[in-house]
Structure 1
């Protein structure tokens, strides 16, 4: 019976997340050679299921919640925690989040779970959805979950000769040396960064991969204003 239950968990998780515009973003079982296994409150976990979204799927669900939680300091993080903590409890897991310290290796988990690789901007890029995707959390289990992990996927950047993402930033915040967060935030605060602040990061918007899944204008503004606040 336990084996049948464990095998059905991915489908059950997907059904539990669907009302919020969230989806399971792959998962895997930690093995002895895998240094990604987290130690939390003295417990090593056996498997992880990543949770996230594509495009603006979460936006209507989040904004309905936000109308009743205008006093929240970090509303998207709080909404994610409210939703995923309840889902985790239902499945006997614990929920963890990219915003919590000590920071967990979500990028590495995403690379293993979905076979993704980073873009020149440092953000993981999806072959279908491009840069318009994100992880909102993960469910950690103390037992093995039969959840197929992703193999290597086509990397959109391999076929992109011009790399417009690297030349679109008005203050050249992206370079071979990495991402200059201070320069980016200073530009947004200067009054000259209104186009980025109101319409979304120009470098991210310049990427041709998955452009049809770009966030809606209100979602773009929300994320940029939250980033500008630090």
Structure 2
């Protein structure tokens, strides 16, 4: 019988591949959508040096569409083969894998007052790039927070930083107001540096986000 992989080995391999583990879920212990049993490892991006290496990858130099998605598939597929796991992605649908459900089930992501997700170490700058579903139920670190960090955030800057006033406590998110702002000259800072509301979250500093990465994501969110 093949030995179960160790979490630390998966974490090290992910980090060597310029990904980080942003959460884990045990579908046999917690009910989640689409999975039963085993261990789910949620993978994402973190850190400016990481993004600069990714942006220098072959997928970003061949002029084909969706370079980040293609890079993610190559890297996560490689990790899946190494650890005999099934790979899942938040893109490529419909249907789409239920990453929001999985993230919330991990105990490391929460719904913020603006209804956007907030993560315990990267705040509102979450960028999940894939997930590994292992057949084995392996031990993983316990989440550091027992409740949403928003409960102890007195200022709640995610609600006041948006220049388009597209975010309100409890939602809904005014998508049309957001896109109208991005289409105007005043929207250039958001397109170049990232969503000001997401950046305003105190925990977002933990993402160590390169503005070029935010600009890449924004170019897909607001297509001109």
Kindly indicate whether the alpha-carbon contact (under 8 Å) linking 1:116 and 1:153 is maintained by their aligned counterparts in 2: no
- Following superposition, the deviation at residue 189 of structure 1 comes to 2.0
Q: Secondary structure at the match of 1:73?
A: coil
Figure out how many residues of one structure are paired with residues of the other and give that number: 222
Matched, 1:100 2:103: no
Q: What stretches of structure 1 of length at least 5 have no aligned partner? A: 39-43
After TM superposition, give the deviation of residue 219 of structure 1 in Å: 1.8
**1:60 correspondence with 2:57:** no
Unaligned runs of 5+ in 2: none
Q: Is 1:177–2:174 an aligned residue pair?
A: no
Alignment CA distance shift 1:68-1:34 (3 Å): closer
When normalised by structure 1's length, the TM-score is 0.82
**Match for residue 6 of structure 2?**
9
Task: Say which SS state the counterpart of residue 202 (structure 2) adopts.
Answer: coil
CA displacement 1:124-151 (0-9 Å, x = unmatched)? 3233432233221101233433334537
What RMSD in Å do the two structures reach over aligned CA positions?
2.6
After superposition, give the CA deviation of every residue in 1:104-129 in whole Å (9 maximum; x if it has no partner). Answer: 22122122224331222333323343
Separation of aligned partners in 2, 1:68 and 1:180? 32
1:200 aligns with 2:194: yes
In structure 1, the partner of 2:205 is 211
- Would the aligned equivalents of 2:32 and 2:105 in 1 still touch at CA under 8 Å? no
Q: Does 1:160 align with 2:153?
A: yes
* TM-score of the two chains, using structure 2 as the length reference: 0.84
1:225/1:171 CA distance change after superposition, 3 Å: same
C-alpha deviation, 1:56, in angstroms? 3.0
Q: Contact 1:22–1:57 (CA<8 Å) still a contact in 2?
A: no
Distance 1:82 1:211 in 2: 28
Kindly tell me: are residues 90 and 224 of structure 1, through their superposed partners in 2, closer, same or farther at Cα, counting changes over 3 Å?
Answer: same
Aligned partners of 2:43, 2:22: CA distance in 1, in Å?
5
Among 182, 186, 190, the alignment partner of 1:188 is 182
CA distance in 2, matches of 1:104, 1:67: 23
The SS at the match of 1:193 is: helix
| Distance verdict in 2 for CA 1:184–1:141, change over 3 Å | same
- Relative to structure 1, is the Cα distance of residues 162 and 112 closer, same or farther in structure 2, using a 3 angstrom cutoff? same
Counterparts of 1:127 and 1:186, CA distance in 2: 31
The 3 A distance-change label for structure 1 pair 222 and 140 is same
